[in-house]
């Protein structure tokens, strides 16, 4: 049986099962981010201490842009906008506005086979760099060997706005150097100074990327929604509900840890338009990312 415990003092949701096969921790004050996850008794997402959330963006929802906007500057509908440059080293705008917002609990449902949690954030404040209002629903569905994350964006404004969307989870491996990523790739992004996309190169290949000692901070345009993360102790399969998918992979300064980030766009998407979409007033956009585990 599943159980959901809301720890009011810290505003954290804990998801558990009586047989201890599943465990999850959602931090409502940190953008409804999933900071810990165990599926089928295998821990796959851990607290990243001593790394800090404000530098890792661990498991955060990335909206209205995934990755970076160069100089925080972009134009839309023939008008220029200046976003806050919250990445001091690079002087870029990074990972949108939702990662540090507080979500409220709309509903919680449990059964013998799953737990479903729906969370909401409503943005009524228009900023200089993104003068639009919107609401976000985040729904987590926990099952014994899988997790589904559904994100629904609604434009509550009177004007159309541009956006990309992403998820920034970090996964652990018993031995990352003996792990690999498999995916079907269309193009690889060329990343220049300050981690800004400068172009693409054609690959058209099924890639089996052995991580070994590589320091990754790379992005690919995918042919399919399928991504496989193979480790010595489990295999993790990723799926997406949309047709156009991107993969960002990053190895932080922490042993046996890798960020595997599914996104709908790339760095500087508000300017290079790669993956960029628009959402008209009162319309909604929905995406579901799903992961499932196979234990070795």
Q: Does residue 204 have a pLDDT over 90?
A: no
Quick check: 73 pLDDT over 90?
Answer: yes
Supply the Cα-derived Rg of the chain in whole angstroms.
18
Q: Which of the four CATH numbers 2.120.10.30, 2.70.98.10, 3.40.50.300, 2.40.50.140 does domain 2-295 have?
A: 2.70.98.10
Mean pLDDT of the 278-284 span: 98
Give percent of the chain above pLDDT 70.
100
Give Dmax over CA atoms of the chain in angstroms.
Answer: 57
**Rounded to whole angstroms, how far apart are CA atoms 178 and 193?**
30
The Cα 212–Cα 173 span in angstroms is 12
pLDDT (0 to 100) of residue 255: 95
Mean of pLDDT values over 89-98: 96
Instruction: Give the pLDDT mean for 256-266.
Output: 98
Q: How far is CA 284 from the centre of its chain?
A: 19
Q: How much of the chain exceeds pLDDT 90, in percent?
A: 98
What value does the mean pLDDT take over residues 222-243? 97
> Residue 120, Cβ neighbours under 10 Å: how many?
16
Q: Give pLDDT, residue 172.
A: 97
- Best CA proximity match to 162, nearest among 261, 75, 68, 287: 75
Residue range 102-127: mean pLDDT, rounded: 97
pTM comes to 0.96
Task: State yes or no: pLDDT of 224 exceeds 90.
Answer: yes
| Domain residue ranges of the chain, discontinuous segments joined by + | 2-295
**3-class secondary structure, 133:** coil
- Residues 6+ away with beta carbon under 8 Å from 19: none
Phi, psi torsion values for 97, nearest 5 degrees:
-120, -5
Mean pLDDT, all residues of the chain = 96
Region 110-133 average pLDDT: 97
Q: What would the mean pLDDT of 144-165 be, rounded to a whole number?
A: 98
At residue 272, the 3 state secondary structure works out as helix
Q: What is the pLDDT of residue 138?
A: 98
DSSP class of residue 26 equals E
Of residues 287, 289, 250, the one with CA closest to residue 67: 250
Report the range of poorest mean pLDDT among 93-102, 201-210, 276-285: 201-210
Q: 3-state class of 197 per DSSP? A: strand
Task: Give the pLDDT band (50/70/90) at residue 296.
Answer: confident
Q: Are 83 and 64 in contact (CB under 8 A)?
A: no
DSSP state, residue 87: B
Q: What is the C-alpha separation between 191 and 270, in angstroms, rounded?
A: 16
Count other C-beta atoms under 10 Å from residue 175's C-beta: 12
What is the average per-residue pLDDT within 133-154? 98
Whether the per-residue pLDDT at 56 is higher than 80: the answer is yes
The whole-number pLDDT of residue 8 equals: 96
């Amino acid at each position: 049986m599943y159980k959901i415990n809301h720890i009011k003092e810290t505003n954290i949701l804990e998801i558990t099962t009586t047989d201890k096969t599943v465990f999850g921790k959602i931090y409502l004050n940190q953008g409804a981010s999933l900071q810990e996850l165990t599926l089928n008794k295998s821990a796959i997402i851990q607290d990243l201490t001593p790394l800090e959330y404000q530098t890792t963006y661990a498991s955060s929802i990335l909206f209205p842009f995934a990755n970076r906007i160069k100089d925080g500057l972009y134009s839309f509908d023939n008008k220029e906008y200046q976003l806050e440059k919250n990445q001091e080293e690079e002087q870029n705008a990074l990972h949108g506005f939702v990662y540090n917002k507080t979500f409220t609990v709309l509903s919680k449902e449990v059964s013998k086979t799953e737990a479903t949690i729906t969370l909401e954030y409503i943005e009524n404040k228009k900023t200089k760099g993104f003068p639009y209002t919107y609401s976000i629903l985040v729904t987590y569905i926990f099952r014994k060997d899988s997790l589904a994350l559904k994100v629904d964006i609604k434009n509550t404004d009177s004007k159309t706005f541009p956006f990309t969307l992403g998820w920034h989870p970090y996964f652990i491996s018993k031995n990352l150097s003996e792990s690999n990523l498999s995916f079907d790739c269309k193009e690889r992004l060329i990343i220049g100074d300050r981690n800004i996309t400068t172009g693409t190169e054609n690959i058209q290949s099924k890639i089996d990327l052995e991580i070994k000692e590589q320091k990754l901070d790379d992005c690919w345009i995918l042919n399919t929604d399928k991504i496989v993360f193979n480790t010595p102790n489990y295999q993790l399969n990723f799926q997406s509900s949309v047709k156009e998918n991107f993969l960002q992979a990053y190895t932080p300064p922490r042993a046996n840890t890798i960020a595997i980030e599914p996104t709908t766009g790339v760095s500087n998407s508000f300017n290079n338009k790669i993956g960029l979409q628009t959402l008209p007033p009162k319309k909604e956009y929905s995406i579901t990312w799903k992961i499932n585990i196979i234990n070795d």
